[in-house]
Structure 1
């Protein structure tokens, strides 16, 4: 089936994310962005839903204290979205796509099975994610949210040691401070392995062909093989600060902006 697409966004949308959201609509998906505030510049055809009903804003304070003005600090948005996508899976809302996933074709999936892809040789990506609502991975996150402390029972040994040493040394007692992706791809990979679900993972080329090399997207290059490759369903762009830049002529980004109407 062709699922609805859901995601979370906090703050203004840049040019790249507008392009990617338009590509998701163009692929024939119903797209909904969850947020706490109204999002200026949301593309036509993209819905907006209240995030508070899925995961309260106050949960962010369990990750790290806000700035004096109440705004979120450094990693908060990324880690909050790691939990938010799992809550969307629990609510059976559809397929999660990061707002910087450019779709080249529609996504078709079996709603009884997990849907994700390898981002690296030994790590799954969570930028593209579907899990049945009663999947063991979803249950693990629901159980985690119910605890007083966000202590992962699937935490890798090296992270357990790092956390223990920090606490003994008088450092942070928040697991969220260990690394930015502690609740993201590393957690998804560990839980998928524990649940015996790694066999469902799609090849890296499905969505992560340019993820580690943003130059292939933002800089002039021969991208004809990328857009013609039948194995590539979409591209997680990972802009690394380039999301607001104007597309450069001859780049894959310029092609996408022209195709999906963002200039």
Structure 2
């Protein structure tokens, strides 16, 4: 008797699929899984073998929970996947997770370490009665919840903002608040972390080494083990690299190039679109003043990088650059004259 594989599900928010999503989704169908791609609007180029369904059946589209600083719907996807696990017996996968071998664990607990201390939720299977799942759903009923896994100074800072009448919404929290950080915390708290697979199970190629999958001189399959079931492509960073520097395709002979041939995916028919960058409305003069304001705040304020990032809606690297520019310029003014 042929063993029935668990059903797989993913969510797509954003129109047409690129060839990278097509490759990943089709890999599950080709491996024998029933896979469903949910969306809030029709997708015109879903690959053969992939089923489609209305995402509203799982979690409403309104309000769409987007990260305040980046505009990413990742927070909405985090909430959506938790509700998927509660309402169905399907295993969640991100649309950039490739199926290397069947996901054949019958336990219902399907997730793995991304790196020491952090479970990634790009693959997430939890039984409906899972203590972790119920704890996550209960915790996020409060959209202004303060995470107990944060450092004490971070908690104090968020409590101060709350007590001042300005609680921080989940969409304004640090990146990953509703994803890996919360999943890891509650898995550890409930003891269900014992089901975590090793890094090689789903993340055999680490985030820092992601580009090895599109460069022919690297043989990433040497890093796979008998436990390897999936391969995460880290699309948030991989896709801009492919579109901007690699002519919209992996290099010939690379691991990902071979997969395109294996699953009969043609990149020319589903090109990765250019990364959308929000238009800057500030004039050059205003931009200089804004950078100066951010830099001075970083130097003079007692606020953390976290709070400055929330206040100015910029990432921490931008804040550091503004601060360093002011420090460097100031140091030039006080260089002692040579005698």
Task: State the TM bucket, normalised to the shorter chain.
Answer: 0.7 to 0.9
CA contact (8 A) 1:75 1:180 kept: no
- Specify the SS of the correspondent of 1:88: helix
* TM-score for both structures, normalised by structure 1: 0.86
Where does residue 32 of structure 1 map in the other structure? 36
SS in 2 for 1:164: helix
Matching of residue 237 in structure 1 with residue 233 in structure 2: yes
Q: Secondary structure at the match of 2:6?
A: coil
Change over 3 Å in CA distance of 1:115–1:141 after alignment to 2? same
Match of 1:203 in 2: 198
Who is 2:258 aligned against?
255
Q: Secondary structure at the match of 2:203?
A: coil
- Partner of 1:45, secondary structure, is coil
Q: Is the CA contact (8 Å cut-off) linking 1:117 and 1:128 kept in structure 2?
A: yes
CA contact (8 A) 1:154 1:187 kept: no
Return the alpha-carbon distance in structure 2 between the equivalents of residues 169 and 217 of structure 1: 48
Q: 1:122 aligns with which of 117, 123, 134?
A: 117
Aligned counterpart, 2:150: 156
Q: Give the Cα separation in 2 of the matches to 1:130 and 1:187.
A: 15
Does the C-alpha gap of structure 1 residues 190 and 114 become closer, same or farther in structure 2, counting only changes over 3 Å? same
When Rg is computed on C-alpha atoms for both structures, the one with the higher figure is: 2
Provide the rounded CA distance (Å) in 1 between the counterparts of 2:12 and 2:47: 13
TM-score by length of 2: 0.68
The worse-fitting range, judged by mean Cα deviation, of 136-145 and 91-100 is 136-145
Tell me how far apart the structure 2 counterparts of residues 114 and 35 of structure 1 sit (CA, whole Å). Answer: 25
Measure, in 2, the Cα distance between the counterparts of 1:196 and 1:122.
14
Residue aligning to 1:184 = 179
**Distance in 1 between residues matched to 2:111 and 2:197, nearest whole Å:** 6
* Aligned-partner SS, 2:64: helix
Residue 262 of structure 1 aligns to a residue whose secondary structure is: coil
Q: Report SS of the residue matched to 1:206.
A: helix
Query: Aligned match of 1:79 in 75, 82, 85?
Result: 75
In the other structure, the counterpart of 2:59 is 55
Q: Which residue of 2 aligns with 1:69?
A: none
Once residues 222 and 153 of structure 1 are traced to their aligned partners in structure 2, the CA distance between those partners, rounded to angstroms, is 40
Match of 2:249 among 239, 246, 250: 246
Give the total of aligned pairs: 253
Q: 1:3 touches 1:29 (CA, 8 Å); kept in 2?
A: yes
The secondary structure found in structure 2 opposite 1:57 is coil
2:87, 2:173 → 1: CA distance?
29
Q: Which residue of 2 aligns with 1:5?
A: 8
CA distance in 2, matches of 1:163, 1:255: 48
CA distance, structure 1, for counterparts of residue 89 and residue 121 of structure 2: 16
Q: In the TM superposition, what whole-angstrom CA distance separates every residue of 1:153-173 from its partner, at most 9, and x where no partner exists? A: 644235423423555788772
Q: Per-residue deviation at 1:15?
A: 1.2
Superposed CA deviations along residues 60-119 of structure 1, whole A, max 9, x for unmatched, are: 25x567xxxxxxx734411111111111110124111111011111111124x4211000
- Counterpart for residue 42 of structure 1: 46
CA contact (8 A) 2:204 2:223 kept: no
Q: Distance in 2 between matches of 1:24 and 1:243?
A: 23
Q: CA RMSD in A?
A: 2.4
Evaluate the alpha carbon distance shift between residue 243 and residue 80 of structure 1 in structure 2; reply closer, same or farther with a 3 A threshold. Answer: farther
- Take 2:146 and 2:163, find their aligned partners in 1: how far apart are those partners? 18
